[in-house]
Structure 1
Amino acid sequence: MKTLRLVLLVFGFASIAANAMTFTAPKHNPADVITWIDQHGDTTRIYADGEITTSSASELEQFVRANHIESGMVLFNSPGGSLMGGVAVGNTIRKLGFDTGIATYAGGGMVASGICASACAYAFAGGLGRYYSSGNTRLGIHQFYSQGNDIGNGTSQEVSGMLVAYL
């Protein structure tokens, strides 16, 4: 367990980016009707753009509380970032009972365009309902890695086991 804690710290600090994830919940045009959102009633669309950091989960929770959001869908446009941050965002989304999708906001409405790759895929997996629209959206996953390539096979297996248990 001591090794796993060290690995979590390594992955936690692997991505503290200048383009850290931001959250917005803009008003949409009345004509912006998305079938898979509207079937849930009054769902707030929360756009999550940028790199996931170790603080993204707590920032999402703070955003939801500050905006009094009770029912939401988190729409990602992210290249990834911190692996443990992505898992934490996914756990937060699951705890809140929110759905996930991949989209951006433009011209007053939701646009089926964006990417959710790397650590973002784990955040996406946290949604109660997970929605993916083909077209200009991409969902990508790859093997995790350490920036210093300093983890051995044993540690790699532990992290892989943690990810399987999470999923």
Structure 2
Amino acid sequence: MRSIGVACFGFALSLSGGAATAGFEHPMEFYEATNGGNCVTCVWIAAEGIIDLDTAERFRAFLRSNDLDEARGLNIHFNSPGGSLIGGVLLGMAIREQQANTTVSAAHVDDVYDSGLRKVTYDPQIQAECSSACVFAFAGGVSRFASKTTPGAAIGFQDVGRLGVHQFYDSLGLADPSAPAFNAEDRITDQKIISILIGFLSEMDVSAELLQLASRTDPRDMHYLTEEELQTTRVDNRMVRDVFITGYPNGVGITEIRYARRNAEYRLEVYCSSGDMHMLATIDWRGTYDVPSHREWKLYDGVSLKDAGALELVSEDFDRRIDGGVTGKLRFRFADPLSDLIHRKRFAFEDWSSRYANNAASAMSFTLPENFDGLHLLHRTCM
């Protein structure tokens, strides 16, 4: 990651990721915001304004001055039209260093507490967006909440805004496209920039297809990513990838949901046993996973379904894989009646015992496709 940052500074002065307008005339500022609730995600870091080359350093200074040097698991809510392309990359790197999460939202500040914390309320007139260079800052999030189907509990019950991309450009060339502003050296610089961006996106686990989508859009216009594009590019890394039904000779049917997060692969097997809905969650964590801390924090012990009942953690087992990673198998039983659960499309899990527990529970959340009705088979295939 360090090599990317060093290389970025060599090209930072002439390239822009987006026009610094869209209602903002000030450099990006950071502040702690709250909706006034007592949920784990009801306090977040708001990031609003235009991104420049110094934004990443201002972000780090903000964390230090607010005793937030350990921002792991905190959500950063963007509302920005973009600005400096390289500034966006550097901010994305700083966010990943802190292991923070990202989303897009906007709200009206109606009070400021003595501590500096700002009380905000939802304003439907404010359209939040994270566009152009901001998308690269957004990519730094460990968990990236960009889909309209994001569980409210994961992002402080805010509405998710939109993410926009277009071609990056030289401001001189955009002002006068016919001017002889480009030579062979400029083209080499462009290629180096693209190489840096591809490397950065790869480290953030975002598909290079994002750059292809951006390259198709004139810098004077903006393409806002669709739900499908958010998934295929992994800009939103919390969406369901595969859902299917598996039938067994003994008549048992299982609905299987597969998806990937930044640091793990998830396979959730939902089935009926003794009249209740159960779920076997197989989680393949990449790299090291701290099982002793998992047990100390009692992760997954207090999981509940948003707007519904609790999940009982029936059992959990951990195995060390040959690649050094850890696979966990966690078996849950839903407290709610099967007859209620089979009608749900959205399964948003939460655990208010701690920020870490809520992040772990929220990572299991999923939304079934609208045309999928496989859960209705469970009561007929009960073990």
Q: TM-score, normalised by structure 1?
A: 0.79
Q: Is 1:104 the equivalent of 2:138?
A: no
| Alignment deviations for residues 132-160 of structure 1 (CA, whole Å, 9 cap, x no partner) | 14276110111110101245332211111
> C-alpha root-mean-square deviation of aligned residues, in Å?
2.9
Deviation at 1:44, TM superposition (A): 4.5
- Could you say if the C-alpha distance between residues 153 and 84 of structure 1 is closer, same or farther in structure 2, counting changes exceeding 3 Å? same
Q: Secondary structure at the match of 1:148?
A: helix
Contact between 2:131 and 2:164, CA under 8 Å: does it hold in 1?
Answer: yes
Query: Counterparts of 1:48-67 in structure 2 under 5 Å?
Result: 48-67=47-66
Q: TM-score, normalised by structure 2?
A: 0.37
Q: Is 1:29 the equivalent of 2:36?
A: yes
Q: Secondary structure at the match of 2:171?
A: coil
Question: 1:85 corresponds to which residue?
Answer: 87
After TM superposition, the runs of 4+ consecutive aligned structure 1 residues lying more than 3 A away are: 3-6, 14-18, 107-113
Question: 1:142 corresponds to which residue?
Answer: 166
- Structure 1: gaps (5+ residues): none
| Alignment deviations for residues 28-82 of structure 1 (CA, whole Å, 9 cap, x no partner) | 3126x5xxxx4xxx78411000100111100000101111123321110000000
Q: Is 1:114 the equivalent of 2:128?
A: yes
C-alpha separation in 2, matches of 1:10 and 1:90: 19
C-alpha separation in 2, matches of 1:100 and 1:44: 13
Give 2:143's match in structure 1, choosing from 129, 137, 142: 129
AA partner of residue 126 (structure 1): G
Q: Secondary structure at the match of 2:195?
A: helix
AA partner of residue 165 (structure 1): G
C-alpha separation in 2, matches of 1:103 and 1:28: 12
Deviation at 1:15, TM superposition (A): 8.2
Q: Is 1:156 the equivalent of 2:190?
A: yes
- Could you say if the C-alpha distance between residues 9 and 128 of structure 1 is closer, same or farther in structure 2, counting changes exceeding 3 Å? same
Structure whose residues are more often helix by fraction: 1
Q: Is 1:10 the equivalent of 2:44?
A: no
Larger Rg over CA atoms: 2
C-alpha separation in 1, matches of 2:135 and 2:31: 20
C-alpha separation in 2, matches of 1:123 and 1:53: 11
C-alpha separation in 2, matches of 1:141 and 1:147: 17
C-alpha separation in 1, matches of 2:42 and 2:101: 9
What number of residue pairs does the alignment pair up?
Answer: 156
| Alignment deviations for residues 91-140 of structure 1 (CA, whole Å, 9 cap, x no partner) | 00000111111012336447595100000000000011111142761101
Q: Report sequence identity in percent.
A: 31
- Could you say if the C-alpha distance between residues 110 and 153 of structure 1 is closer, same or farther in structure 2, counting changes exceeding 3 Å? farther
C-alpha separation in 2, matches of 1:147 and 1:20: 18
AA partner of residue 163 (structure 1): L
AA partner of residue 77 (structure 1): N
C-alpha separation in 1, matches of 2:8 and 2:120: 42
Higher RCO (CA 8 Å, separation ≥ 6 residues): 1
